[in-house]
A and B are shown apart, each in its own frame.
Chain A
C-alpha cells in the first residue's frame, strides 16, 4: 500500500513541477499529506511513531534558525588599544619643534669618539661579569661533586628544589640611604589611567 501511495505521489508531483512553492499552493488537502509523506520517506520505518516526528522536526528547525542567528550576532570583541602604540597628536604639533643645534666639527668628532669608547667600556664590563658568573657556577659545581663523594643523602638534599625562597623580594639601591624615623607627607592624587573592558 505504501508503494502505491509512493507512485501516485510521484506522478502527481511531476505534474505539479511547474509550481514554485508547493507548500503555499494547496489545490487539495491531499497535496500536503503527499508532501508529508515524501519528506517522511526515510521515517517510513516507524509508521507508528509519526506523532513524535512533527514536533521533533519543528524543534530541529527552530534550533537551526537559532544557531544561524547566534552566528550572525557573534561579533568579535573590540580590541583593547595599546596606548603606547597610539601616536598622540602632540607629537605632530609644529609649534613644538625645537630648533636643531649647530654642531661644530670638533663636537661631532668628540661625540663619535665617546660613543666608541663607551662601547669598548661596556664590552669589557660584560666580559668581567660573564667571567665572574662562570667562576661562581664552576665553584658550585665542584662543591656539589665533593658533596656527592661525601654522602648521597646530603647531596640529594642539596640538589632538591627550595620552595620557600619564592616569592623573593629585595629593595634595590637608591640614590640616598633611607632616613630613620621619616614620615612621608600625605598627598592625594587623581588616577587618570584608562581602564578598558571587553
Chain B
C-alpha cells in the first residue's frame, strides 16, 4: 500500500511552513524558548512533547541545534531531567534513524551522572534502549567509550550508571573490547563506595548471562564470592540474586564447587536482610540448582529459614512453602514434606508474629493438592481450622480466600463439616470489617458449595446482614444478593430472597425500609422485567407514601434506576403518575430527585 512517491530531504519545519505559506512559523528560537519557560510546569510540558518539537525541526536541525542545546543546558529540575531522559530513549527516528543514533549519547551521558537516582536510572534505561540501535561499529566507536568514561568517573553516580550498561554492549563488540569491559566491571565490583558495589552486585547476574562460560567461571565466580562476603549487608544481599542467575548458567557438576559454598553461607548470614533475600529467592534458587542439591542442601536450609529468629525472614520463607514443596523432586516429595517441612509449618501456625501467620495462611491451602486427600484430612485440616480461628483477621481472610483448592481435594461435604462452623462464626464477628470481608467471599463460596447447600447453611446469614447496624455491611449485603442471583438465577431469587426483601418494606425502622429499595435497585436488572414489574414495583409504589422523606426520595431514585427494566407502557401509565406526585412533594429533596427521575426517564 505504498502511495509515497516523493521522498523529501527537506526539514519538516520548512515543509510545514510551506504548507501554511508562512516562512517563519517555527524558528528554533521559539521552540527553545518553550523549553526555557520560566514556569517549571510549562517547561516540563514542553519537554514531554520534545518529540513534537524535534518533528517540527526536522532530523538535521534536531541533530545540529536541538541536541547541542539540550546537552548544554542540563542543569534543570530533576522532574524536567527525568522527562528528558525518557524522551531521548525514543528519539532514534527523530535524529535520522540508527545511522545517527549516537548523536543522542552526549545528553544521555550527562543525565547518567546526575545525583537524583530516578533521573540516572531513566537515562541508563534509555541508553540501554538505544544501544540496540547502534551498529556494531558505532557501538565500539561511540557507545563503548561512553561506558568507559562513566565507569572511570570521579563521582560515584557515573560509575553506578556504568554498571547497567556493560551487559548491553558486551555481546556485540570485539574480543579486545570485551576484555576491557570485563576489566572495568571487575574494578567496579571492588569500588570503595558501597553505592557502586551495590550497583555492580545488582547487575552481576545480568552481566554473567552475556559472558562466555569460561569467563563466568574465571571472572564472575570470584566477583560473586567477593560481593557475597562484602562488609556491608546491603551489598551481600544483592549478591544473592546474582548467585541464583549464575547458578542457572553453570553446568550441574560445577555448582557444588563454585556457588554452593557461598549460597550456603548466605542462608546463614549474620544479617537478617541477607537471610530474608535468600528466603525470598528460594524458589528460583531451587529451580537453578536442581533436585539433588535441593534434597541435600536446600531442604535443611529452608527448615532453618522457617525457624529463623527474625519474623521478617520466617514470613518470607513461609510465603514460599507451597512453591518449594511443589517443586520438590517427585520421588521423594511426600516424604520430605511430611518429615521435614510439615513439622516447621505446624510451628508457624502458632507463631508469635501475625505477618508470619498471615504469609503462611496465604499459601498453606495449596499443600492439600500436593499431599492428597488423606494427608489433608489428617494433617492439614487441623492447621486450617487453627488459622481460621486465629485472632488476626488477615490470617482468617487468607484462609477463606483459598478454600477452593481444598474443596477440590477433599470435597464439599468434608469441607463443610470441618470449616463451615468457623466461617459462620466469622460472619457474626464483632468487627464489621471482618464481616465485610466474609460477605465479599460469599459469592465465591456460593459458587463452590452449590445452591442446595447454600440455602441450607448460608442463606439466613446473607439475609441477616441486610439488617446489620453498620451501613457498609447492609450495602455490601445488597451487592452480595445481586451476585448470588447472577449465580443461582432469577427463579431462585423469586423463591428465596425476593419475598424476604420485600417483607422488610413494612419494617418499623426506616433504615430497613430503605434497604428494601436498595436491594430492588440492585436486583431489578438481574431478576428481569417480569419479577420487577409483578413483585417489586407495587412495593416501591406503596412506599412512595412513606412518612419519612428519605424513603420517599429513595423511591424516586429507585424508579429512575429500575426504569430501564420496565416496559414503556408501564412507565407511562404507572411510574409517571407516582413520580409526578412526588415532584409536588413538600420536601425539596423528594421534589429534586423526582424531577431528576422524570427527566432521565424522559417522562416529561
Q: Do A and B actually bind? A: no
Q: Please report B residues at the A interface, Cβ cutoff 8 Å.
A: none
